[in-house]
Amino acid sequence: MKQSFYIYNSGDIKRKDNTLQFCPNEGAKRDIPIERISDICVMSEMTFNTTFLNYISQYGIPIHFFNYYNFYTGSYYPRESLLAGQLLVNQVEVYKNGEKRLEIAQKFIDAASFNIYRNLRYYNGRGKDVSQWMEEIEGLRRQITKTNTINELMGVEGNIRQQYYAAWNVIVNQEIDFKKRVMHPPDNMINSLISYVNSLIYAKILSEVYHTQLNPTISYLHEPGVRRYSLCLDVSEIFKPLIGDRLIFSLLNRNQITEESFTKELNFLHLKKDASKLIARELENSLKKTIKHKELGRQVSYQYLIRLELYKLIKHIIGEKEYEGFKIWW
């Protein structure tokens, strides 16, 4: 199975014969077999040339860039090799049809909120009394199909997340005093952690979109806009509870991540390098986990579940099969 290659040290990365070579400013050179790489995440200062870009483009390898604070800043997206003009037309037509767009957006939020509920149910059954928030979310979920606009739907989604995040103070064993989600910029340890993990998931989904015929700039829940791949934001809503939130709970409850993992002088805005590397490594381990797929009848990885979700969306867009969002079944 291919995997992401994370770069935390500044240096050069280049083509060397038929593989890649990373030359850090400090330390030994390292050869990287290109056949094993799915994408590259750059967390440091990096230099490369067009020979390198041309080479990784032949293999369809995206590069994702993160700044000093571990915030996602952009991607190098190789020329698409799976172009499908008719699918692009269909993708746009569904977006322009308000009723069809709302239907898909509701399916995204229905699946995302179901997965949120399953997370709470899991911890409620293990001695964490979050039943009051489960009841609130259950009631809010019934409003999803009653919404008439995207803005109404986003309002319901926001209320669901407000209830969900309120339960985190019970789920997490550390004293986190988590009241609300703040993103630009994060204002405490938990918000910084969520932002970083969500950025990694966003990049992962973009890499998976590249291997389909979907256009990542055309979305249904989030408004398409400049300088972002908004379809990845749509799909990430579904997988954040399974991949991101469960990882965060595990890291905090095992004390793998604590206040000491952050630079306190920057209001916990900056994750230390060792903590950043730990989170990325644990995320990769989570994505490698497998589950027997109830329809395919075989083991599939969590990462491949993302690809399957994109295939389901394609089938819906071309009118082959109605889309139903991924819901945790185990």
Do both 246 and 310 map to the same domain?
Answer: yes
Taking the C-alpha atoms of residue 68 and residue 48, their distance in angstroms, rounded to an integer, is 19
Query: Which region among 69-78, 98-107, 208-217, 293-302 has the lowest average model confidence (pLDDT)?
Result: 69-78
For residue 184, the model assigns a pLDDT of: 65
CA angle 19, 24, 28 (to 5 degrees): 80
Check residue 104 and give its pLDDT.
98
pLDDT at 186 over 90: no
Average pLDDT (7-27) is: 92
Q: Is pLDDT at 164 greater than 70 in this prediction?
A: yes
Count of structural domains within the chain: 2
Please determine, for residue 45, whether its predicted confidence score (pLDDT) is greater than 70.
Answer: yes
Q: Does one domain contain both 312 and 175?
A: yes
Are 42 and 170 in a shared domain? no
Q: Are residues 163 and 31 in the same domain?
A: no
What residues does 290 pair with on adjacent strands? 301
pLDDT at position 330 is 84
Instruction: Let me know if residue 120 belongs to a domain.
Output: yes
Q: Do 201 and 141 belong to one domain?
A: yes
CA dihedral 61, 291, 242, 309 (to 10 degrees): 60
Mean of the per-residue pLDDT values of the chain = 92
DSSP reduced 3-state for 8: coil
pLDDT of residue 82: 62
| Assigned domain for 328 exists | no
Parallel, antiparallel, or unpaired: how do β-strands 290-292 and 270-271 relate? unpaired
Task: Give the domain range for residue 126.
Answer: 85-317
**How large is the average pLDDT for residues 155-161?**
97
Residues 111 and 175 in one domain: yes
What's the whole-number mean pLDDT along residues 63-91? 86
pLDDT at 85: 82
Indicate whether 27 and 95 sit together in one domain. no
pLDDT at 9 > cutoff 80: yes
Residue 230 has pLDDT above 80, yes or no: yes
Per-residue pLDDT band at 39 (split at 50, 70, 90)? very high
Q: The domain that contains 105 carries what CATH number?
A: 1.20.120.920
Phi (first) and psi of residue 220, to 5 degrees: -125, -40
With helix as H, strand as E and coil as C, how does 258-317 read?
CHHHEEHHHCCCEECHHHHHHHHHHHHHHHHCEEECCCCCCEEEHHHHHHHHHHHHHHHH
The 10s digit of each residue's pLDDT in 89-126 is 999 999 999 999 999 999 999 999 999 999 999 999 99
Beta strands in 154-256 (DSSP E): none
Residues 189 and 56 in one domain: no
- Is there a single domain that holds both residue 102 and residue 53? no
